[in-house]
Structure 1
Amino acid sequence: MSLYVEGLTSRAPNSGMAEFQEVMRKELEASMHTELEKLLGTTKGAQAELARKDFEGFKKIFHRFLQAKGPSVDWPKIHRPPEDSIQPYEKIKARGLLDSVAASLTKLVVVKLNGGLGTSMGCKGPKSLISVRNENTFLDLTVQQIEHLNKTFNVEVPLVLMNSFNTDEDTKKILQKYAHHRVKIHTFNQSRYPRINKESLLPVAKDMGLSGENAEAWYPPGHGDIYASFYNSGLLDQLIAEGKEYIFVSNIDNLGATVDLHILHHLMSQPNGKRCEFVMEVTDKTRADVKGGTLIEYDGKLRLLEIAQVPKAHVDEFKSVTKFKIFNTNNLWISLPAIKRLQEKNCMDMEIIVNPKTLNGGLNIIQLETAVGAAIKSFDNALGINVPRSRFLPVKTTSDLLLVMSNLYTLDAGSLTMSKKREFPTTPHVKLGSSFTKVHDFLMRFESIPDMLELDHLTVSGDVTFGKQVSLKGTVIIIANHGDRIDIPAGAMLENKIVSGNLRILDH
């Protein structure tokens, strides 16, 4: 992203511009190294060692950031992936399971990305500790799923949580409650990188502390950091020594991301020389998914294309559901020995995502991140599998939360499946207004979660509350104007209705 460097050097004479920019890059890099050493000087012992490891990774990404030149794809070189590089799930499933399920499971580790906070839903602490169904949190449901697997097949599939400095302490306190569950739980922390002042391109941190003003000076650098952090933690080597071969990685807030025995069997049944080292689960794109990353062929390799890499002139084309029909669910199956090999050879190649933010004091910063799926092009025999939409059930907002709390889904051994009573397999489109954004406010507005089995579309805006045993069918739009309030009474049935103004519905 040399645009930043070019901005700093725009007043330089045109002759020798490239050389001048190279000098500027080297000066910026030297200044960054000096600032990082100063920060290291503010801490001692084990924390200093940990920070030094993190900073080595940060220096690499900062160097690549200074070298980059705008969006990292040449649009004419993009091609649709070859037919056999994205397999339909039904084809994988049709091969059956044979008798080796337990043997395959002994080679598996489940990894959940647990670095995020619940701030977007108005919660403090790790997002994984938000209650999503019958008082169960994301973490509870994950543990229940794996425990059920371990008991059913008499195996010991471990759970690994990649925490961040934001979530580690709170998560570890909660883990004590699973001490008597049949799940062995490991944790490791992703890196801690310094946020960069957008103007000076230097760290905003004054020291290594995480309190006061300095709390905003640090960030976890995206889930692409999993490879380096996992390797540096020593846990990768430990699991390989225990005979583990694959990790199944997913976001902890994706309630559809359960261990799929058919995909695992497909991986384990490949001949050794042709072993698939990386599987990305993709699913059909709808108009709600237009910003999701997609798989392309580029320079003869399968590659993840994210919207941030697309030249502005082609963004509409990228969002099209006709040209790019699938998107990445971030459910990934990755070979442990392959991660070790690529880390040791320093061959893990991931595009940098430049994420601009404004801190509370108004300071404009950038943070440099990577995405776990972007490493697909570094692995051998990588494959996409087009899975059913049911494997992508993320809870990013209270609108998503309403769906998973409702009778649209049944809960069994930690897994949510769509109710057989729903006539069509698609999920209703739900859009709740700003009065529902925070989980606390959301819960206060529902005396009980409505019956949504026959719902297609729900939009709610303004000061609206729902009584007990409300039923919603078809398309329902409820809009309370500013200063007005709408109370939907207990037992009300709304079918294909628009409710607006300042209303109390008194009959059914």
Structure 2
Amino acid sequence: MVDEGCQTKIPFVIMTSDDTNALTIKLLESNSYFGMEPSQVKILKQEKVACLADNDARLALDPSDKYKIQTKPHGHGDVHSLLYSSGLLEQWKTEGRKWVLFFQDTNGLLFNAIPSALGVSATKGYNVNSLAVPRKAKETIGGITKLTHVDGRTMVINVEYNQLDPLLRATGHPDGDSNCETGYSPYPGNINQLILELGPYIEELKKTHGAISEFVNPKYLEGACWFITVRGFGSGYGEERMQSYLLSISSPTNCLSWSAL
């Protein structure tokens, strides 16, 4: 990156798990870090957590070994605690960096929108900027919403797709999550691409030492009373989500930035 004639190397952090760590390092090394210097790239590995088998929170055992507990990565919300505990955030602040961009590897076209989104964050003074895409009603992707508490507090945040429709119906919207005159839902799709101002981000994480609210993510098999994971075993697990950081902000100034990706 060139800024007023000076070249700047942008640090790049990848969060991995036991399942992906070795393969990620191998991919980087075999491709000469895709043109980056090895010192630019930092690998932060998250730990796994035990899976639960039912609503009574019994531990889920491996179907092939009854003495082995099923485990799963803790969720992408671990990136906040890992960045905090690694000291990278303070290092970046000392180096004069101002913004942290979070993106997931399933959204490659995001890079077309990064420059304009960063510009919006800088000119508008946003602590948080969340990129989104047009979304059809009831599409299986979370929707960005503005929630208003009975005491007047407001929050712009993602609501999961399986919670959005019942939430709307319970709060005076009989049609639930339905398309408006544009042909799309008025609640754009959350793609978990966040731009955070570094200084306020550090101050918020200091309050909890990087910890983010955790929740149990139950997914029931049809006609059964146990959970399923991505691997197809019957289990559920405690999970942290990257966007849950927004719940911890004391008085957020955040913006919804549309981007047709």
TM over 0.5: yes
Larger Cα-atom Rg: 1
In structure 2, the residue matched to 1:319 is: 177
Indicate whether 1:343 and 2:205 are aligned: yes
Alignment of 1:125-164 (within 5 A): 154-164=7-17
Specify the alignment match of 1:190 in structure 2.
Answer: 46
1:275-354 to 2 correspondence within 5 Å?
Answer: 275-286=125-136, 289=139, 291-298=141-148, 299-310=153-164, 312=166, 314=168, 317-322=175-180, 324-346=186-208, 350=213, 352=215, 354=217
Query: Which deviations, in whole Å up to 9, do the C-alpha atoms of 1:452-477 show, x marking residues without a partner?
Result: xxxxxxxxxxxxxxxxxxxxxxxxxx
Q: Would the aligned equivalents of 1:277 and 1:338 in 2 still touch at CA under 8 Å?
A: yes
Tell me how far apart the structure 2 counterparts of residues 386 and 311 of structure 1 sit (CA, whole Å): 22
1:376 matched residue in structure 2: 246
Give the AA of the match of 1:253.
T
Structure 2: which amino acid aligns with 1:355?
Answer: P
Question: How far did residue 153 of structure 1 move?
Answer: 7.7
- Paired residues of 1:291 and 1:319 also in contact (CA < 8 A): no
> Quick one: distance in 2 between partners of 1:212 and 1:241?
49
- Measured after TM superposition, the shift of residue 202 of structure 1 is 4.0
Structure 2 counterpart of 1:265 = 119
Distance between the aligned counterparts of 1:199 and 1:288, measured in 2? Answer: 27
Matches within 5 A, 1:37-116: 102=3
Secondary structure of 1:319's counterpart equals coil
Mapped contact 1:355–1:368 kept (Cα < 8 A) = no
CA deviations on 1:271-296 (whole Å, 9 max, x unpaired) are xxxx3111001222235835432222
Do structure 1's residue 236 and structure 2's residue 89 form an aligned pair? yes
Indicate the percent of aligned positions where both proteins have the same amino acid.
17
Question: 1-side partners of 2:133 and 2:109: how far apart?
Answer: 12
Deviation, structure 1 residue 205: 6.3
Root mean square deviation, CA, Å? 3.6
SS at match of 1:345: helix
State how far apart, in whole Å, the 2-side matches of 1:203 and 1:283 are.
Answer: 38
User: What letter is aligned with 1:163?
Assistant: T
Corresponding residue number in structure 1 for 2:223 = none
SS of residue in 1 equivalent to 2:235: strand
- Please list, as runs of the form range in 1=range in 2, the aligned pairs for 1:446-457 lying within 5 A after superposition: none
| Counterpart secondary structure, 1:320 | coil
- TM-superposed deviation, 1:331: 1.5
Change (3 A) 1:257 1:204: same
Tell whether the 8 Å contact from 1:296 to 1:303 is kept in structure 2 after alignment.
yes
Shift of residue 340 of structure 1? Answer: 2.2
8 Å CA contact 1:294–1:324 kept in 2: the answer is no
Q: Which runs of 4+ in 1 moved over 6 A?
A: 211-216
TM-score, normalised by the number of residues in structure 2: 0.73
Count of residue pairs the alignment pairs up? 234
- Per-residue deviation, 1:158: 1.9
**Alpha carbons 1:196, 1:365 under 8 Å: kept:** yes
What is the Cα deviation at residue 348 of structure 1? 6.6
- 1:349 is displaced (CA, Å) by 6.1
Deviations 1:424-460 (A, max 9, x none): xxxxxxxxxxxxxxxxxxxxxxxxxxxxxxxxxxxxx
2:199 is the counterpart of 1:365: no
RCO (CA 8 Å, sep 6+): is it higher in 1 or 2?
A: 2
Aligned: 1:170 with 2:23: yes
SS in 1 for 2:193: strand
The structure-2 alpha-carbon separation of the partners of 1:214 and 1:250, relative to structure 1 and needing over 3 Å to count, comes to farther
Q: Deviations over 1:204-237 (max 9, x none)?
A: 469xxxx977776111122222211221233333
Return the structure number with greater helix share.
Answer: 1
SS in 2 for 1:289: coil
CA contact (8 A) 2:142 2:160 kept: yes
Question: 1:389-400 counterparts in 2 under 5 A?
Answer: 390=261
